A = this chain, B = another copy of it.
Amino acid sequence: MANTSIQGRDSRLRFKYVSTSGYTSKWMGEAKKQIVILGGGFAGIYTARSLERMLRPEEADICLVNRENYWVYQPMLPEVISGSIALMDVVCPIRRLCPRTNLVMREVEDIDLNNRIVTVSPGFRPRAKKIPYDYLVIALGEVTNYYGMPGMLENAMPFRTLADAIAIRNHVIHVLEEADVEDDADLRRKLLTIVVGGGGFSGVEVVAELNNFIREVKKNYIRLRDEQARCVLVHSRARILPEMADPLALFAQKILKKRGVELILNDRLVAATSERAILKSGVEIPCKTIISTVPSASPPVLQKLDCAKDKGSLVVNTGLELLGHEGHVWALGDCASITTVSGKVVPPTAQHAVREATTCATNITAAIQGGKPSRFTFEGLGTLGSLGHGSAVAQILGVKISGFLAWMLWRNIYLLKIPGLKSKVRIGIDWFIHLLFPSDLAQMRLEHESGIKNQHFEPGDIVFHEGDLGDSVYVIEKGECEVIKEEDGVAKSVATLQAGNYFGEMALLSDVSRNATVRARTALDVLLIPKGDFNRLRQSVPAFGEVFNELARKRTSNVERER
């Protein structure tokens, strides 16, 4: 029943939904209240945990929808990149954190505020699942958004989730492996350059961890021991860590510089290709790794929601109720625009999210049991940022601390705050082992063939060189490129291709290397069809193959005519 459309608000129908779940069997009196929490970050998980404490099982069913079945301890994520915390030790299974909560490991596809139904993505069967609610908590966080930044989506790696951290770690190990094998000094320099965008806490922690990691493991690469590696942090303001006081930010800058991190201030990433990062000032940094910790936007499912918003964030009152849906819908965490009772804007940090969760759970409990609702008054305790290798900056209750003491504080506070004894023990052991042994540098290679994808080139970029292996076919979506052949040592442009044109099919159809070089004339967006997919499509959809066969025939006869 639950995976078909339920339109009515009839409680019997809703009861039918919950009754199939099995966990209401002992209690068959009146329909229990259905609480649905969207998102499993700090805000969502702590709301579920508080509700489990505040409400009896007979009073409400709690359902939490999250893409993953684990919760990530976000502040420690940068340490996963360097391997000082083992991959799975920064996460905690949601089912263990919230044993009474019914977890739905799906994506949220739609929120119907009028009919009070949440639609989640299909599972093994291609049918969407509808989940009706009495009380809804929206805590979906933010997503990365590269709108207006050409090539960033294709070439920059976001840093937000555990999957992102693992992808960055694997990519960095991959570039080190390739740099060790590569004979071209130019390409080797690109492989050894890493650009991080955004000088907030996560950008600073990521660049610090990466820089420490690369400098340590480089020793294990026979040919890289004497090579320079560059870690560049790009930040849009005059100094990094805008959340901190001047002296602390300047201390952090000094430490980073001392360790070899390059700082580029008053500038920002605006575009990227597979060969370089392009900054607003016009500076270009040749590199094979771009990590971006900015900018953020509201998740698409909230963008289409028709309610009060402030720059995309959901506007709530001091009881965290969504304006216009008070008493039924709460919004908290990074996706909400919250002001405290005293009128201060609440920043998107873990310490605030945890307190928002308590306020929200108290108010839902009040809605069910009656009682006085709570208002959000938490003003923050301070900020902490780790620079790795025994150094950090902290600003707690007005006191500024930097260096080793701040670092000890950082480790102790966060270890104390992580829920569950197992996680505390495992992370403590990880840190201890990291003191005794060198960093792990195993690359957990899981990716399959990449599939059909987009790619972006800036004017002058080489798409491929004459003589390269043919590994994909290109379709131009925007821009122009020219085909260049070398004759008697002189490069000659033989054709210009435009949007809608295809190229690169010759090498794939005849299984030879590229017979010409292709270079972008303007900014160029292409669809890239890899060899495997191209051949499968060509065999199965003859009309698709014919497009390319005909093109190849035409190109061959042109060449022959010219002779």
A531 to B451, CA, bound (A): 13
Q: Which residue from chain B places its CB closest to the CB of A22 in the assembled complex?
A: B223
**Chain B min CB distance to A83 (Å):** 8
- A residues 215-254 in Cβ contact with B at 8 Å: 220-223, 226
Flag if A475 contacts B533 (CB, 8 Å).
no
A125 and B187 contacting across the interface, CB-CB below 8 Å:
yes
Contact with B along A283-311 (1 / 0, CB 8 A): 00000100000000000000000000000
A544's contact among B123, B533, B541, by CB below 8 Å, is which?
B541
Q: Find out whether the CB atom of A452 lies under 8 angstroms from the CB atom of B544.
A: no
Shortest C-beta distance, A164 to chain B (Å), equals 10
For chain A, the count of residues having a C-beta within 8 Å of the partner chain is: 100
Query: Which B residue sits closest to A173, measured CB to CB?
Result: B69
Whether B126 and A533, one on each chain, are in contact in the complex, defined by CB atoms closer than 8 angstroms, is no
Interface residue? A521 (CB, 8 A): no
A530-547 toward B: CB 8 Å interface, digit per residue (1/0)? Answer: 000100110111111011
Confirm or deny: A128 has a beta carbon within 8 angstroms of a beta carbon on chain B: yes
Minimum C-beta distance from A461 to chain B (A)? 14
Q: Which residues of B contact A433 (CB under 8 A)?
A: 422, 425-426, 429
Tell me how far the C-beta of A193 lies from the nearest C-beta in chain B, rounded to whole angstroms. 13
Among B68, B104, B191, B477, contact of A181 (Cβ-Cβ < 8 Å): B104
User: With a CB–CB cut-off of 8 A, which chain B residues contact A69?
Assistant: 173, 177, 441-443
Q: Look across to chain B and name the residue whose beta carbon is closest to the beta carbon of A106.
A: B181
| Bound CA span A167–B178, Å | 26
Q: Are B547 and A543 in contact (CB under 8 A)?
A: yes
How far does the alpha carbon of A550 sit from the alpha carbon of B92 in the complex, in Å?
Answer: 51
Q: Are A536 and B527 in contact (CB under 8 A)?
A: yes
Complex Cα spacing A477 to B477, Å = 30
Contact A541:B86 (CB < 8 A) given known A22-B222, A426-B433: no
Q: How many copies does the complex hold?
A: 2
**Please, which residues of chain B bring their CB within 8 A of the CB of A510?**
none
Interface residues of A in 511-563 (CB under 8 A from B): 527, 529, 533, 536-537, 539-544, 546-547
**Contacting residues, chain B, for A122 (C-beta < 8 A):** 469, 471
Q: Is A124 an interface residue (CB 8 A)?
A: yes
Is there a chain B Cβ closer than 8 Å to A91's Cβ? yes
Binds B, one of A47-55, A95-103, A367-375: A95-103
Whether A355 is near chain B, meaning CB under 8 Å from some CB there, is no
- Give the contacting residue for A222; candidates B21, B166, B475, B540; CB below 8 A: B21
Residue of B nearest to A474 (CB): B540
Give the complex CA separation of A87 and B475 in angstroms.
Answer: 40
The complex places the Cα of A469 from the Cα of B122 at a distance, in Å, of 8
* A102-B222, A443-B70 as given contacts; A178 in contact with B123, CB under 8 Å: yes
- Are the CB atoms of A441 and B95 closer together than 8 Å? yes
Q: Is A162 an interface residue (CB 8 A)?
A: yes
Beta-carbon nearest neighbor of A185 in chain B: B20
Docked-complex contact B469 and A126, CB < 8 angstroms: yes
The one of B123, B126, B181, B429 in contact with A105, judged by C-beta atoms closer than 8 angstroms, is B181
Q: Which of A122, A128, A429 has the most CB of B within 10 A?
A: A429
Interchain CB contact under 8 A, B540 and A477 = yes
> For window 429-467 of chain A, which residues contact chain B by CB distance below 8 Å?
429, 433, 436-438, 440-446, 448-449, 451-452, 464, 467
The answer to whether B437 touches A422, judged by C-beta atoms less than 8 angstroms apart, is yes
CB of A183 closer than 8 Å to a CB of B: yes
Contact, CB under 8 Å: B540 / A543: no
**A126 engages B440 (CB within 8 Å):** no
A135-179 CB contact bits vs B (8 Å, 1 = yes)? 000000000000000000000000000110011000001110110
Bound state CA distance, A89 and B87, in angstroms? 10
In the assembled complex, the CB of A551 is this many whole angstroms from the nearest CB of chain B, namely 11
Contacts of A438 in B (CB 8 A): 96
A31 interface contact, C-beta 8 A: no
- At the interface, yes or no: A67 with Cβ under 8 Å from chain B? yes
Task: Say if the beta carbon of A468 comes within 8 Å of chain B.
Answer: yes
Q: Please name all residues of chain B whose beta carbon is closer than 8 Å to the beta carbon of A223 when the two chains form the complex.
A: 21-23, 102
9 shortest A-B CB distances, which residue pairs? A451-B451, A70-B442, A95-B220, A475-B540, A105-B177, A126-B468, A422-B437, A126-B469, A527-B540
29 A-B residue pairings within 8 Å (CB atoms)? A2-B183, A3-B184, A21-B222, A69-B441, A70-B442, A87-B444, A93-B441, A102-B222, A103-B177, A104-B181, A105-B178, A106-B181, A123-B178, A125-B184, A125-B468, A163-B446, A167-B446, A426-B433, A429-B433, A446-B446, A449-B451, A451-B533, A452-B537, A475-B540, A477-B539, A527-B540, A529-B537, A541-B547, A543-B547
Extra A-B contacts (16), CB below 8 Å, given A86-B87, A124-B175, A124-B288: A1-B183, A21-B222, A69-B177, A87-B87, A88-B442, A106-B181, A123-B181, A124-B187, A125-B184, A128-B469, A422-B437, A451-B452, A451-B533, A502-B541, A544-B544, A544-B547
Which residues of A come within 8 Å of B, CB atoms?
A: 1-3, 20-23, 67-70, 86-89, 91-93, 95-96, 99-100, 102-106, 122-129, 162-163, 166-167, 173-175, 177-178, 180-184, 187, 191, 220-223, 226, 288, 421-422, 425-426, 429, 433, 436-438, 440-446, 448-449, 451-452, 464, 467-471, 475, 477, 500, 502, 527, 529, 533, 536-537, 539-544, 546-547
